[in-house]
Amino acid sequence: MTRFHGVIPALLTLFTRNGAAIDFQATGELVDWLIRRGVNGLFVAGSTGEGPLMSVQERKALGEFIVEHVNGRVTVIVHSGCANGRDTIELTKHARLIGADAAGIVAPFYYILDARALQRYYSTIARAAGEFPLFLYNIPILVKNDLAPDIVQGLVKQHSNIVGIKDSTGSIERLEEYSRIRRDNFTVICGSDYLLLEALQLGAKGSVSSTANVIPHFFVKLCNNFRRDNVRAARKWQDKIIELGGLLWTPNSIPAMKEMLRLLGLPTGASRSPQRMLTTAERRALDQGLRALTLLS
């Protein structure tokens, strides 16, 4: 079995007051809590982890801390994608240097690029990374550049160190297209919580999920039941994930998840600007919603 499988939370980065600095102690405590609940890996400094809101040096410091703190207990994928190739290569090489298991690389953002530019971009990074495993990361709703299946197929054929893709398009058709890409060490990971069961049925190996920061056991039980061919039980946990998503999947999802950590009595922290704190009314509504779902005592 590939080492890139199962439940991989898109790790929240917990910041000190007003997002001034990374709160390493609180983030480490969250990591320990997630590992105790059976997750298989961590995806560090991605969209949920507010990586695009950090400096290159902050991202390096966070990657170093997580790899050292995890100490081999689970797989660590460090997100190294930036808006430009220079910083992406620097962070990718750094992820390899510190002993991460792989780097995840989102498509460049802001400028809209054609297929040739995207192919050249990823090829340059793959060559610079040597044999270090790389995961493509497709989330076009945020970056505006889509890693179409033919682009991915070409990259996979050309570069053996491109070992998988995290697909956050929210499209079951796209998951199916990626699943048709054949190579022994190529892994499709689902980045859309509400499609996880369907993705596993298509051949995806696991989930990189923001919501898994707060309900990791839901994802673990879904995946474990699926592996035991108990699709009915897996569907029950998929439905629970979708139900909770009704509370969390909003433009303020990251502050909402951090508020949920607080309500659960877990380590939490601020988010970084331009994200904002939840209002009193939003916090109250979240508390009430979680109690209605019996997620709070």
pTM of the predicted structure, to 2 decimals: 0.96
| Contacting residues for 58 by C-beta, under 8 A, at least 6 apart | 22
Q: State the burial class of residue 138 (Cβ atoms within 10 Å of its Cβ: 0-12, 13-18, 19+).
A: buried
Is 18 inside a domain boundary?
yes
pLDDT in tens, 4-57: 999 999 999 999 999 999 999 999 999 999 999 999 999 999 999 999 999 999
Sheet holding 102-106, edge to edge: 6-9, 206-209, 187-190, 162-167, 134-138, 102-106, 75-79, 41-44
Q: Which amino acid appears at position 31 of this protein?
A: V
Is 297 inside a domain boundary?
no
pLDDT of residue 249: 87
Is 237 inside a domain boundary?
yes
pLDDT in tens, 122-149: 999 999 999 999 999 999 999 999 999 9
pLDDT of residue 1: 47
pLDDT of residue 274: 95
Residues 235-243, mean pLDDT to the nearest whole number: 96
Number of domains forming the structure of the chain: 1
Determine the structural domain holding residue 114 and report its residue range. Answer: 6-292
Answer whether residue 297 shows pLDDT above 70.
no
Say which of 60, 166, 205, 258 is annotated catalytic. Answer: 166
pLDDT above 70 covers a percentage of the chain that reads: 99
Is 112 inside a domain boundary?
yes
Is 215 inside a domain boundary?
yes
pLDDT of residue 296: 76
Answer whether residue 271 shows pLDDT above 80.
yes
pLDDT of residue 2: 63
**Are 153 and 181 a contacting pair, CB within 8 Å?**
yes
Local structure of 105: helix, strand or coil:
strand
Say which of 60, 80, 122, 137 is annotated catalytic. Answer: 137
Q: State the burial class of residue 53 (Cβ atoms within 10 Å of its Cβ: 0-12, 13-18, 19+).
A: middle
pLDDT in tens, 51-90: 999 999 999 999 999 999 999 999 999 999 999 999 999 9
* Residue 93 pLDDT class (50, 70, 90 cuts): very high
Is 1 inside a domain boundary?
no
- Residue carrying structure tokens 């696991």: 206
Is 83 inside a domain boundary?
yes
- Whichever domain contains 133, its CATH number is 3.20.20.70
Q: Is residue 110 annotated as a catalytic residue, yes or no?
A: yes
Q: Is residue 47 annotated as a catalytic residue, yes or no?
A: yes
